[in-house]
Amino acid sequence: MTAPHVLIVEAPYYAGIAAGMLRGATRVLDEAGATHEVVQVAGAFELPGAVRLALKAMARTGGPRWDGFIALGCVVRGETDHYEHICTQAARGIMDLTVQFGVPVAFGVLTVHDEAQAEARARDDDMNKGAEAAKAVLAQVALARRWGV
């Protein structure tokens, strides 16, 4: 069986945090023998749309190019209700893709109160949420392969 090929869609609005989560995700994928590509979008709100564009591109080419997807980003609470809208819609969009298209998509979007909380979840340690997202997508890819979908 071929190694999984994963598309990581990264929203580097908080560049240092995104970079830490990306390091965690790629470390896990590399350790598992998976290959990956990385694309960037403006922010967390654009993550589901980019995954959908990738799915459309795969459909046009007639075959799977990516076995799974990881959405990485960070939304920090501010003084307005913008935070709630972005968090809700990014999560809903990713879940809709997962359910509607039956593809493994890991939600690696931090939704935090301040940058210190985000930094704690982007360090190169066992709490890295990018690494957790990579583990989740690999598990979903394995399940899809087991069931032949």
Q: Where are the domains of the chain?
A: 5-146
Best CA proximity match to 19, nearest among 69, 68, 66, 73:
73
Look at the chain and count its residues.
149
pLDDT in tens, 47-90: 999 999 999 999 998 766 999 999 999 999 988 888 999 999 99
The pTM of the full predicted model, rounded to 2 decimals, is 0.96
The DSSP letter of residue 34 is: -
Give yes or no: 5 in active site: no
Decide if 48 contacts 71 (C-beta within 8 A): yes
Q: What CATH fold (topology level) applies to the domain 5-146?
A: Rossmann fold (3.40.50)
Q: What distance in Å separates the CA atoms of residue 85 and residue 69, rounded to the nearest whole number? A: 23
> What pLDDT shows up at residue 63?
67
Identified catalytic residue from 5, 82, 85, 113: 82
